[in-house]
Amino acid sequence: MSDRLQKVMAHSGIASRRACEKLIETGHVRVNGKVVNTLGVKVSPADRIEVDHTTIKTEELVYFVLNKPRGIITSSDDEKDRKTVLDFFKHKVSERIYPVGRLDYDTSGVLLLTNDGSLDFKLTHPKHQIDKVYIAKVDGIPDEKDLNQLRRGVKLERNLKSAPAEAKVIKKVGEDEGNSLVELTIHEGRNHEVKKMMSSIGHPVEKLKRISFAGIQADNLEVGKWRPLKKREIRDLFELVND
C-alpha cells in the first residue's frame, strides 16, 4: 500500500508533517537514491527513504498525555537551553515524539505528544475546531455581560477577533474573594489567546491551566508526569478528525 512521502516520514518520527514537507521541498530527501523535492509523491513499504543520506526506520506510532508544569518550554529543543517537555520522556521513550500544538511557558496542564504526524496535523488544523478547555484564575469577577462578550467573540488585536467560546465563572477565590476562576472552552490555537481574551474584557489572567484537549484529560496525573493514551482515547481522537 502506498502513501504520501511526508506522511510516511512523519509516521517514522522524523518530524511533524509540516516540517517533513519543508525537508522535501528543500532537497533533503531521497527515495530509492533519487532526490524528491516536490510534494504529493507516494511511496510504498518497499521504497528506501533517506533524509540527509540516512535511511529512515519505521517507528511504532505512540501517543502520550503529559501534565505539563509551568516554566517548561513546549518545544523539541530550546536555543537558551531551557528545559522542554521532551525532557520528561528522555531515556523512557525511544520514539521521536513531539508536542501536539503548544502551551505557553507559564501555562500548565494537558499536552499531547506523539510521533503520528498525520494526527498532529489534523488535531491542530482550524477546520476540525478541537475543544481546548482552560481554567483561568483572573483578576476580578466577570459578570454576565463580560461572559457574553466571550461567547460572541472579542477583539484580540487589530482586525482580529476570537471565535465564540464557552465561558462560565466557577467560583470566587482569594482572601477577599476579589479574584475568580473562569472556565473557557475555545476551538482555536492562537498565541496567548486565552490571556488576550480575558484582558479584552478587563479581567487579566493571573494563572492558567488547560484541563482538556480534544477530550483528553490528565486524570490523576501529578504535575510533570505522563502516561500513554488508552486505546479508547486514541480511537476517539481519530473519530474527531475523521474526514
Select from 132, 135, 91, 98 the least CA-distant residue to 114. Answer: 98
| Dist CA 210 CA 185 (whole Å) | 10
Catalytic residue among 3, 104, 131, 219: 104
Please name the residues in contact with 108: beta carbons below 8 A apart, sequence gap of 6 or more.
Answer: 67, 68, 69, 70, 208, 209, 210, 223
Among candidate residues 190, 193, 232, the one with its CA nearest the CA of residue 215: 232
The three cell numbers locating residue 196: 488576550
Is 104 among the catalytic positions?
yes
Catalytic residue numbers? 104
